[in-house]
A = this chain, B = another copy of it.
Amino acid sequence: MTSYQQIVLASRPQGVVSVDNFRLESVPVPTLKDGEVLVRNHYLSLDPYMRMRMEDVKSYAAPQALDEVMIGGTAGEVVASKNPKFAVGDKVVGMLGWSEMGVSDGVLLKKVDASVIPLSAYLGAVGMPGMTAWYGLTQIIQPKAGETIAVSAASGAVGTAVGQLAKLRGCRVIGIAGGKEKCDYVVNELGFDACVDYKAGNLRKDLKAAAPEGIDGLFENVGGEVMDAVLARMNPFGRVALCGLISGYDGEPMPIYNTRVMLSMRLTLRGFIVSEHMDLWPQGLGEMGSLVATGKLKYRETVAEGLAAAPQAFLGLLVGKNFGKQLVKLI
């Protein structure tokens, strides 16, 4: 290979993201400098946070630059190395973006063992999404056995991990997802105690039926009406891990009306970004890796084929078309 393909951000979305916001480019394979590693990406991770990066606004991270490779986690194989820590054939995960190949100085590249845990899982349950679930649940919600934990976007990469981790800790788990198929999956396949289909039109009533004794912990990925409805069911001293607000990533207003509940129920709500807590990743991913390797934690993947399919797959992710972890398979 003398060239490879990558996808750059061509323009910032005006409201809803369109495939026209992206541009596929062909670039020459670079010559490595000392210390560098050339990686052939096998999988690209698509994640909701990317939507926020596309905006040029004050946020927790710098915006994705225009005409630069879209940010993104990747899993692949070393194909050339001038870095003594990496050998050709090593399986690695990194942040090489929406690209078939990438060059790394090795600092943020991590070797992984793909013999027991499939390579793609290092982008899901044993990667950033799994760590996100672990951090929000164990560090913010801090669930106790017998408590009721709710999680929105329940069938997504993060939500599936949150619910299973909470079940393993002896909690009653209520999923919230869009559609019967997703709800059936988290209940029947993953062992959630109940799931509320927010598209069914009876959000508040169904939540009450699913959590008759109220909700002690909420892992929030969606925001807006769904979050507001769960807040109204929170028990005293409930905790809310605010992980994502995918319902408002296109700029839609998503007011919270149940402000009173935060006071009357003495809730604690905390927003978090998992990449700011790297000190806990070894502990969190250690647990996630063991659970996946021993089959105690299941995950599901939605896989788009080929780099050119990434923009459409990303658009699908933003409206909940994915089921579990959304990946793009590059090789």
Contacts and interface: CB of A to CB of B under 8 A. Distances in A.
A263 B245 contact: yes
A263 B244 CA distance: 7
Interface in A208-261: 223-224, 227, 236, 242-245, 248, 253-257, 259-260
Contacts of A265: 60, 271
Nearest to A271: B263
Interface string A255-283: 11101101111111111110010000000
A177 interface: no
A263 B236 contact: no
Most buried by B among A260, A262, A270: A260
Within the oligomer, what is the number of copies of this chain?
2
A60 B266 contact: yes
A58 interface: yes
Interface string A54-73: 00001110000000000000
Contacts of A253: 257
Contact of A267 (B52, B244, B248, B270): B270
Interface in A268-322: 268-273, 276
20 contacts: A59-B264, A60-B265, A223-B259, A224-B259, A242-B262, A242-B263, A243-B263, A254-B259, A255-B256, A255-B257, A255-B259, A262-B269, A262-B271, A266-B271, A266-B272, A267-B269, A268-B268, A268-B269, A269-B269, A269-B270
Given A59-B264, A264-B271, 13 more contacts: A60-B236, A60-B265, A224-B259, A242-B262, A245-B260, A248-B260, A256-B259, A262-B269, A266-B271, A267-B270, A268-B268, A268-B269, A269-B269
Q: Which 3 A-B pairs have the closest CB atoms?
A: A255-B255, A263-B271, A59-B264
Nearest to A276: B266
A282 to B, nearest CB: 21
A229 to B, nearest CB: 14
A264 B223 contact: no
A270 B266 contact: yes
A270 B257 CA distance: 16
Contacts of A254: 259-260
Nearest to A223: B259
A206 to B, nearest CB: 20
A275 B43 CA distance: 54
A58 B248 contact: no
A170 B273 CA distance: 29
Most buried by B among A242, A244, A273: A242
Contacts of A264: 52, 58-60, 271
